[in-house]
Amino acid sequence: MKKLYFGMLLLLGTAMYAQTEKDSTKTIDELVINENRFSTPISKQNRNVYVINHKTIEKLPGRSLNEILQYANGVDIRQRGPFGSQADISIDGGSFEQTVVLLNGAKIIDSQTAHNMLNLPIPVEVIERIEVIRGPAARIYGINSLTGAINIITKKPADSGFLISTYAGSNFEKDAEGNGDTFYGKGIQLGGVISKQKHQHSIFASHDKSNGYRYNTGFENNKLFYQGNVQVNDNNEILGAFGYIKNGFGANGFYASPGDKNSSEVVQTTFASIQSKHHLSDKWSLAPRVSYRYNYDDYRYFGIANLNSGRSQHYTNSIAAEVNTSYKMEKGELGFGAEARNEDIKSSNIGEHNRNNVGVYVEYRTYLTERFNVNVGAYLNYNSDYKWQAYPGLDAGYALTDAFKIIANIGTSQRIPSFTDLYLNQRPGNIGNPDLKSENAFQSEIGFKFLKKAFTFNANYFYRNITNFIDWTRNVTTEPFQSVNFGGLNTSGINMRAVYNVELANSSKFSFNLGYSYLDSEFKNIKQDVFSKYLISSLKHQVTNTVDFQYKKFTVLFATRFNERATGASYWINDFRLSQAINKLVIFADAQNIFKTTYFEAGAIPLPSRWFSVGVKFTDL
């Protein structure tokens, strides 16, 4: 571990030294973070926000949202199936239910179980950036943002065109337990854009198929995504989106190993939203939205060989409406918002349930001095099951210089139990608990950010307390697991991130991105001598590093991830991508886990030891 810390310091020192040598590097346009009511330049943000932009996404060796988020500092992706089949997501040591995902600000919440939250049809080609907001965010995004939020922002296309891409890959191993075939994966994607002065439309469709990387891990994935932008006039704009995905996969060991060796699952998700932005005056803006999500989850414990027993089917609907407004005053800016949400489920082993949620936001930000700004707000929530709850928060920032800023924030948030947590009846395996209380979090954080031209460095320390933490436990191995409020979870942590971009001579560019996170978690007031499913399985140490070099239209990227969990072995994963553009044609080659590391992210499910793929993309977008 000492070598790891030394290496990080060496890389950071190298980048800072390089910055002093390249002080003439051009300054890029500053990124603006849109938080529903307020729009804030990244340099003036008082929260710990990490952004993955579209240029980085294009270079990474991944074709799904899950794979891209693997390289995000502080984000824990626990995959059961690779290449986007299924994955859980958490931030800074929280559980997979405690992070909210958004698409252009519209919440994507799976009220059945967060196992399916990342079952999304969003192609990486339409993503402008991914914003990772760390820490409780109820006053900004409302329910279920207990440990943070991930907001996916899509592109507004500037030019018409089309895209066609295809790829194929393998680990060159054979399915010795099955039919003896060599494992492989392949896919194709088509996309088209119409961009006019007053309206833009994008539509993408893709098909991915694989026979897996070990016995019964094959998948077939079909996606469709549409987005439309309409500019009514200079002050009014409408954005609509629709997506559909059908994802079927072998679920060997996913939930009930070793008995589920032949199990399979099919998950279908439909998502639609429409929202608009209105500048009513120089001071007043308004932004309403409506969104809908339907999810069908069909789990077959015995696989397709026996659909008459061991089968669970869940039908979930959620519809939400939200309106946000902001008003600029002489000494600050005032933001208001309100949301309403209805969720229902019809399930073979959860039953039929319905619940409603209503929330109200209020925020105020102001500059107390030229360099000192404060943002204070609260979220007032009413849930038909959990009644009234209030979640305040505050952040502040002081700019010591134009490049160096100190930030601090405190915040609260909650997570309402899922229908699975409350009502699941899957004896003898798992049973829910209708008496569960909602989880609550309080977090304080202090840090600094340094931004100077091509070099940025952030460092933060936080302390978080979660009460009524929900886990699945049992007293003896012959009993079913049941969801319980397990106790309190206290977590302290540090995270650091350095980014350096420089233009070299002869049309060459160099980019360096290094992140490190450390977490120390401890349960308080817990029940003793019980078996737990999720007891502190978060990352204790995490390093993410990407280094890429571009010469004209040739790019090589090397990505490294180091993970050490609180329970489990540590491991290094190394990936790379080579890419060459020839006019409108792009040829790429990926190698993932090139040193064939054996590792696990969820339970005892081994992930691919090595995978190679090649592909071509023709685009004039």
3-state helix, strand, coil split of the chain in percent (to 5) is 10, 60, 30
A 10 A CB-CB count for 198 gives 10
**Contact in structure between 290 and 274 (CB atoms under 8 Å):** yes
Instruction: Give 525 or 161, the one with higher predicted confidence.
Output: 161
CA pair distance 224, 120, nearest whole angstrom: 10
User: How far is the CA of 200 from the CAs of 124, 158, 184, 275, 339, in angstroms?
Assistant: 18, 8, 37, 15, 28
Looking at residue 31, the DSSP 8-state letter turns out to be P
pLDDT of residue 4: 42
Q: What is the pLDDT of residues 262-288, one digit of tens each?
A: 999 999 999 999 999 999 999 999 999
475 backbone dihedrals φ, ψ, rounded to 5°:
-85, -40
Q: What is the pLDDT of residues 49-92, one digit of tens each?
A: 889 999 899 999 888 888 899 899 899 988 887 776 788 899 99
CA pair distance 380, 401, nearest whole angstrom: 36
**Contact in structure between 273 and 293 (CB atoms under 8 Å):** no
Q: What is the pLDDT of residues 339-348, one digit of tens each?
A: 999 999 999 9
Q: What is the pLDDT of residues 85-124, one digit of tens each?
A: 788 899 998 888 999 999 999 999 999 988 888 999 999 9
What is the share, in percent, of the chain residues with pLDDT greater than 70?
94
What is the share, in percent, of the chain residues with pLDDT greater than 90?
71
607 has a pLDDT exceeding 80: yes
Over residues 454-481, mean pLDDT: 90
Which residue from 334, 385, 389 is spatially nearest to 360, judged by alpha carbons?
389
Report, in angstroms and rounded to the nearest whole number, the Rg of the chain calculated over CA atoms: 24
pLDDT of residue 367: 92
Helix (H, G, I), strand (E, B) or coil at 126: helix
Q: How do strand 439-452 and strand 199-210 relate by DSSP bridges?
A: unpaired
Please give the structure tokens belonging to residue 529.
């001598």
Helix (H, G, I), strand (E, B) or coil at 30: coil
CA pair distance 411, 150, nearest whole angstrom: 17
Task: Name the pTM for this structure.
Answer: 0.92
Amino acid symbol at 449: K
Over residues 26-33, mean pLDDT: 60
Among 34-43, 142-151, 180-189, the range scoring the smallest mean pLDDT is 34-43
CA pair distance 35, 47, nearest whole angstrom: 11
Looking at residue 5, the DSSP 8-state letter turns out to be H
Handedness of CA 417, 419, 421, 422 (dihedral sign): positive
23 has a pLDDT exceeding 80: no
Amino acid symbol at 14: T
11 has a pLDDT exceeding 60: no
Handedness of CA 514, 520, 523, 528 (dihedral sign): positive
Looking at domain 2-619, its CATH architecture is Beta Barrel (2.40)
Q: Is the bond into 136 cis (omega within 30 degrees of 0)? A: no
pLDDT of residue 187: 96
**Contact in structure between 54 and 128 (CB atoms under 8 Å):** yes
Q: How do strand 219-233 and strand 430-431 relate by DSSP bridges?
A: unpaired
Using the structure block, give the residue that is written with the tokens 């436990």. 473
pLDDT of residue 21: 42
User: How far is the CA of 359 from the CAs of 379, 390, 420, 529, in angstroms?
Assistant: 7, 9, 23, 39
Q: How do strand 481-504 and strand 106-108 relate by DSSP bridges?
A: unpaired
| 596 burial via Cβ count (<10 Å: 0-12, 13-18, 19+) | exposed
pLDDT of residue 536: 63
Using the structure block, give the residue that is written with the tokens 């540090």. 494
| 401 burial via Cβ count (<10 Å: 0-12, 13-18, 19+) | exposed
Query: Three-state secondary structure along 489-542?
Result: EEEEEEEEEEEEEEEECCCEEEEEEEEEEEEEEEEECCCCCCEECCCCCCEEEE
| Ordered DSSP codes for 43-70 | GG--SEEEEEEHHHHHHSS-SSHHHHHT
**Contact in structure between 315 and 347 (CB atoms under 8 Å):** yes
Amino acid symbol at 277: K
pLDDT of residue 235: 95
For 515, residues 6+ apart whose C-beta sits below 8 A from its C-beta are 50, 73, 74, 495, 496, 497, 498, 542, 543, 544, 545
Over residues 512-517, mean pLDDT: 96
